[in-house]
Amino acid sequence: MGNRTTLSDEVYEAVKALIMDHAIAPGARVTIDAVSRQLDVSPTPVREALARLESDGLVVKRPMAGYTTTPLLTPGEFEQLFEVRLLLECAAAARAATQETSGVDFPRLPRPVADRGYAGHAAFTAADAAFHDAVAVAGGNPLLRDAITRLHAHLHVHRISFPGAGTTEAEHAAIVAAIRSGDPSGADSAMRAHLEAARDRHRLRT
C-alpha cells in the first residue's frame, strides 16, 4: 500500500502520547521489550523511536541499562522554560507583525465548556500549541520556529498541569489583532502579557 508513514513514525507518536497522557509515569523506566509487546511491533522501530525521543529530551538513555522518561519540570525549570519562551515567542510575534499575514489562519481555541475530562484538556493543549506554532510560522524565520518547536513547551507544561481555560482566547485575540495591524511592539507586548499570564495560571497549581 502506498502508506506514506512508516512504522517507526507511528511508534514515535504513540510513545510521545503515552508520556503525555501519564500512561508512563515521569521518571519511570521505558523498556524496549515492553513497548514492542504493547504495540505489537518488533523492537527495532521502538529503538529508533526512542532514539528520536531522546534527542527531543523526553527520555534519557543510560548505556546498557535502557531508557527512562525525563522527570517533571521542577519549579525552577518551569521558570527557565518561560524565560526562553518569552525570548523566542515575543520575537516571533513582533516579526509576524512585519509580515504579510492576511491569508494566515490563526487557529481558535475550543470553547472551554465544562470539564470534558482528559480528552478535553488534551484537545485544549493541542489547539493552544497549534496557535503558538502558527504565530511562530508567521514570524517568517523557519530557524526561529524550529527553536520554538524544539522547546516542546506545551508538552512539558501539559505534563505538570492540565491547562485551565481562563481568558486564554481573549489574550490570543489580542496577539492576532496586533499582528494584523502591523504593530511589532504591540505584538511583542501582547505575547509577553499572554505568556506571563499563562505562567501565573500554571504556577498556581504546582
Partner DNA sequence: TGGAGCAGAATCCTATAGGATTCTGCGGCG
Partner DNA sequence: CGCCGCAGAATCCTATAGGATTCTGCTCCA
Binding residues vs DNA (CB under 7 A): 1-3, 6-8, 29-34, 41-45, 47-48, 61-67
Partner whose binding site includes residue 119, from DNA, its own copies, none (CB under 5 to 8 Å by kind): none
What is the rounded CA–CA span in Å between residue 81 and residue 61?
22
Chain centre to alpha carbon of residue 82? 12
Q: Which stretch binds its own copies (CB under 8 A): 15-23, 46-54, 103-111, 198-206?
A: 46-54
What is the rounded CA–CA span in Å between residue 118 and residue 103?
33
Q: Which three cell numbers stand for residue 133?
A: 506554532
Among 26, 31, 52, 122, binds its own copies (CB under 8 A): 52
- Mark residues 56-85: x for contact with its own copies by CB under 8 A, - for none: xx-----xx------------x--xx-xx-
Q: Are 67 and 18 in contact (CB under 8 A)?
A: no
> Contacts with its own copies in 78-117 (CB under 8 A)?
80-81, 83-84, 87-88, 91
What is the rounded CA–CA span in Å between residue 59 and residue 54?
5
What is the rounded CA–CA span in Å between residue 105 and residue 115?
27
Q: Does 166 bind its own copies (CB under 8 A)?
A: no
The candidate with the shortest Cα–Cα distance to 69, out of 59, 81, 77, 56, is: 59
Closer to its own copies by CB, 92 or 178: give it.
Answer: 92
Residue the block writes with cell 513514525? 9
Closer to its own copies by CB, 144 or 193: give it.
Answer: 144
Q: What is the CA radius of gyration of the chain?
A: 18
Interface residue list for its own copies (CB under 8 A): 4-6, 8-9, 44, 47-49, 51-52, 54-57, 63-64, 77, 80-81, 83-84, 87-88, 91, 141-144, 146-147, 150-151
